[in-house]
Structure 1
Amino acid sequence: MKLFVIFLFYFFSLSLPSYSKRCNLKDEKVLLKIKLALNNPYHLASWIPDTECCNWYCVDCDPSTNRINALTIFQGNISGQIPAEVGDLPFLEILIFRHLTNVTGEIPSAIAKLSNLRMVRLSWTNLTGPVPSFFSQLKALTYLDLSFNQLSGSIPPSLSLLPNLAALHMDRNRLTGTIPESFGAFTGSSPPDLFLSHNQLTGSVPKSLGSLNFSRIDFSRNTLEGDISFLFGRNKTLEDADFSRILFEFDISKLEFPESLDTLDLNHNRLKGSVPEALTALENLQQFNISYNRLCGQIPVGGKLQSFTYTEYFHNRCLCGSPLPAC
C-alpha cells in the first residue's frame, strides 16, 4: 500500500507541469518559428520547446488571457530580418526590435495584422525601405518609434489618422519629401510629439500645424525653409522645440512664447530681427540657442537670458549685450 501511494504521488508530480502551464500552444509555436527565422541566436536561448513560454526572455504574457502580449528583443547579437511570423501573435500589444544593428530588410507587412499594438519600437537597427502606410490601420497605437534606421521615401500622410498617437519618432533616417499637410489635422485629442530630425526633408512646414498645440517638436537638421512663427504663441503648450541647422528665415522680434517652454534651439538658421523681449518671462527656460543667425540689437535683460553663455548667442550679425560684449 505504501509503495502504491508513493507511485501515485510520483505520477501526479510528473503530470503537474502540463496542467499548470500557462503558455498558449499556438503562441509557443509562433515564437519558435521566430527564433528559427533569426537563426537560433543565443539571446533567445531560453526559448525551449515544452517549457513555460510566458517565462521566456524577451516576452510577456497577459495574465488574464495567458497570451503573448509583448515581444521586446533588445541589444542582442541578432542578424537577419524581422520575421513575418511576428504577425501571427494576435494579442501582441508591444513590439520592440531595438539596438540591433545587424537587423536589416524592410518592415514586414505582417505587422499590419496586429490590431492590438499600442507600442512599436523598431529603432537603432539597419532597416531599409519606406515607412509603411499600414501603420495608420493600427488604431490602438500610442507610440511609434522608427528612429535610427536607413528608412527612405516620404512620410505617409495617413499617419495623422491614428487617434491615440502620443509620440512619433522618425528621426535619423533618410526620409525625403515634405512634412505632410495632414499633420495639422491629427484626429486624437492632442497631437503627438513629433521627432523628424536628421533626415532630408524639404519645403516649408505646413501652416496647418499652427492650429494644433504640440508639446515637443524636433525638425532639426533637415533642409526645410520658410517661416515657422505660427508654431509659437502665448497660448500654445510647446515645451521643447528644436529647429536648429535648417534654413528657416523670418523676423523673430515679436514672437510670443508659452510659459511652458523649457527648450528652444534655433541655431544655424537665417533668422533676422532682434531677440524677443517675451523671452525674459520664461522662468522654465533651461536650454536656449540662437547662435549663427542674422540677429541684431541688444539682448534683453531678465529671466534666464543672461544665464546662457557666449556660445548660445555668437555669430550673429550685430547682436550685443550680456553675455556678449556691451553694445
Structure 2
Amino acid sequence: MHFYALIAVLISLQHFNPSLSLGFDNKVSSGVALGHDDASGAAVRCIEREREALLAFKQGLVDEYNQLTSWGSPDCCTWEGVFCSNQTKGDHVIKLDLLVYDLQDKTISPKLIELQHLKYLSLYGIDFNGSQIPDFIGSLSNLRYLDLSDASFGGRIPSQLGNLSHFLQLNLAYNHFATNVVQNLNSWLPRLSSLTHLDLSYNNLNNTYDWLETINKLPKLRDFSLRDCSLHSPPMPSTLFTTNSSIYLAHGDFSLDRLTSSIFVWLSTYSTSLVYLDLIGNNLTGPIPGVIGNLTSLSYLDLSFNQIEGWNPHSFASNNLYGQLPDFLTYLDNMVMLDLSYNALSGKIPATIGSLFRMETLKLRSNRFVGELPSSLKNCTGLRVIDLGNNTLSGPIPKWLGVSFQDLVILMLSSNQFNGSMPSQLCRLSRIQILDFSMNNISGGIPKCFNNLTTLAQKGNPNMKITHYYEAPEISDEYEDDAAFIWKGSMQVYRNTLGLMKRIDFSSNRLIGEIPKEISHLVGLVSLNLSRN
C-alpha cells in the first residue's frame, strides 16, 4: 500500500484539455436584441423555451451556497455558467459550464433536451449520487464537448453517446459506472469518429478486454487518459496496423494500471506522433524494448515504479545487455522529462545521455547504477531537476555540475558512494532550492561561498513551480515536477508547495571543520541537516 499511495501522489494529473477552441467561446458575451425588454428595459436575448429548460434543471439542484442566484432573471444569457450565441433570430444557449460550482442533483432534467444548439456541457463535480447518465444526452446533436467527470454517476453509460459523431472531447473520469456496463465501450465509443480527447481515468475497466481495439478505432484521437482503470494488457487487436487507427496520437496516460511490456508493440505504431507517455506503476518487467527508441517525438517519458531490468532492442523476452540503460534512448532528442526511477536498471549511465540536450528533468532514483557521472551530461545545459539518489554511483562530485547548469533547482545525489571534497563551483548554482548529498563519503569542509546561493538566501515563493511544456499538433500542455525525499523519517513529496521547500542535506558524510558563518545568510532555508559528520 505504501508504494501505491506514494505513486498516486507522484502523478501529475489532468491532461484533459478544456481550453481547446470549439469556435464559439469568443462569441458569447453580447447578442442582438429580440425586440422585447425585461422590467428594467434591458434587451432580452434568451429564447423562452431554453430558459424554461434551464429552470427545470435548476429545480433539481441543491445549491447550498446560493451560487445560482442569477438563475431567475428574464435573460438566461446573463446567468452564471450560461453562454449564448450571437444570432439575429435569437440567442441560443450554446455553452453550459458549471465547473466551479459546488452543487448536488439526483438526475439531469430531461428538459435539457430543449438545448439543441448546445455545443459545450460541463457538469464536472456535481454530485449526482449514483444516478445514470440519461439517454437523451445522445440526442444533443451539436454537442462537441462533454465533461461529466467527478460527478458520482453510476449504472450504465448510455450507448446513445455514440450518436454524437461530431464529439471532440469526452471526459467521464472519476465516476462509479457498473463494471459489466463499462465492458461495452466497443459498442458505442468507436462511432465517435471525430473524437480527439478522451478521459476515462479512475473508472474500473478491469473486465474490459477489448479496450485497446476500441481505442484503435478512433481515427482522430490525440489525447487520452486511462489512469488507474485496472487495465490489463489485452491481445493485440487485428486492427493494430490498419489505416483506421489514429495517426495523431500525442498524449497517452496509462499510469497505475496493470499493463505488461506487450503494450509497447501497440505504442510502436505511433512512432512519429507520441509526445507524452506515462506508464508509472504498471507491471512492466524485463528489458525496455527497442521500439521506445523509435518514438522520436517523445518529450515526456515516465516508466517509474515498474520492474524494468534492462533493455533488448530485438525482443521482450531475452535478457541481452541485461540491466543496462539503453543507448537507443539517446535518439529521443525531443525528450524534456525522463523518469526511470524505482526500477532495477544497472551498469553505468551511458555517455550518450548527453545527446538529450533538450532535457530539463532527469530522474534515475533507486536503481543500481554504478560508476562516475558521465561528463557528457554537462551538454544538457537546460536541466532543472537531477535526481540520481539511491544508486551506487561513485567518484568525486564533478566541478561541471556547478558550471553547466545555471537553471538547476533540484540536485539530489543522496545514498550513493561519492567521495572527495565538495567543489566550490557548486556556489554558482544561484537558483538551487534543494541540495541533497546525504549518505555518501564526502570529506573536507563546506565551501564558504555558499552565501552565493541567492535563491536560498530568499524566503520561499508559494507560487513557484517547476513547469515543463510540450506541444503536438493541436495540443499544448504542461506538467509540473515534484521532489520526493525523506523528511523526519518518512518519504514526503512536494509539488504544489515546492516553492516553499528550501533544503540542504549533507548528513551522514565525512565532513570536518567548522560550519561556515556564510550559511547564516541563507535565510530562506527550511531545513539544514549536517548531522552524522
Match of 1:303 in 2: 521
Q: Assess, with a 3 A threshold, how the Cα gap between structure 1 residues 244 and 56 changes in structure 2: closer, same or farther.
A: closer
Match of 1:99 in 2: 256
SS in 1 for 2:394: strand
Letter in 2 for 1:283: T
Match of 1:313 in 2: 530
Letter in 1 for 2:443: K
Match of 1:50 in 2: 188
Distance 2:423 2:223 in 1: 49
Distance 1:234 1:269 in 2: 22
Q: Does 1:232 align with 2:384?
A: no
SS in 1 for 2:254: strand
Does structure 2 conserve the Cα–Cα contact (< 8 Å) formed by 1:201 and 1:224? yes
Distance 1:231 1:197 in 2: 21
Match of 2:365 in 1: 197
Match of 2:229 in 1: 76
Matching residue within 500, 505, 513 for 1:289: 505
Q: Assess, with a 3 A threshold, how the Cα gap between structure 1 residues 41 and 120 changes in structure 2: closer, same or farther.
A: farther
Following superposition, the deviation at residue 89 of structure 1 comes to: 3.7
Following superposition, the deviation at residue 174 of structure 1 comes to: 0.9
Gaps in structure 2 of 5+ consecutive residues? 1-137, 142-159, 169-177, 202-217, 311-323, 457-501
Does structure 1 conserve the Cα–Cα contact (< 8 Å) formed by 2:339 and 2:362? yes
Mapping for residues 85-164 of structure 1, pairs under 5 Å: 85=237, 88-100=245-257, 102-114=258-270, 115-153=272-310, 154-164=324-334
Gaps in structure 1 of 5+ consecutive residues? 1-12, 25-39, 60-64, 317-327
TM-score (norm 1): 0.75
Distance 1:43 1:161 in 2: 42
Residues 133-153 of structure 1 show CA distances to partners (whole Å, capped at 9, x for unaligned) of 322222221101111111111
Distance 2:401 2:523 in 1: 18
Distance 1:198 1:106 in 2: 24
Q: Does 1:251 align with 2:421?
A: yes
Q: Does 1:217 align with 2:217?
A: no
Select between 102-111 and 196-205 the one with higher mean Cα deviation: 102-111
Does structure 1 conserve the Cα–Cα contact (< 8 Å) formed by 2:503 and 2:525? no
Residues 181-205 of structure 1 show CA distances to partners (whole Å, capped at 9, x for unaligned) of 101222x4x3341100011112221
Runs of 4+ in 1 over 4 A off after TM superposition: 16-20, 40-46, 85-88, 305-310
Does structure 1 conserve the Cα–Cα contact (< 8 Å) formed by 2:274 and 2:298? yes
* RMSD of aligned Cα (Å): 3.1
Does structure 1 conserve the Cα–Cα contact (< 8 Å) formed by 2:275 and 2:299? yes
Q: Assess, with a 3 A threshold, how the Cα gap between structure 1 residues 122 and 56 changes in structure 2: closer, same or farther.
A: closer
Following superposition, the deviation at residue 107 of structure 1 comes to: 4.4
Following superposition, the deviation at residue 97 of structure 1 comes to: 0.9
Does structure 2 conserve the Cα–Cα contact (< 8 Å) formed by 1:144 and 1:167? yes
Q: Assess, with a 3 A threshold, how the Cα gap between structure 1 residues 219 and 269 changes in structure 2: closer, same or farther.
A: same
Following superposition, the deviation at residue 255 of structure 1 comes to: 3.5
TM-score (norm 2): 0.47
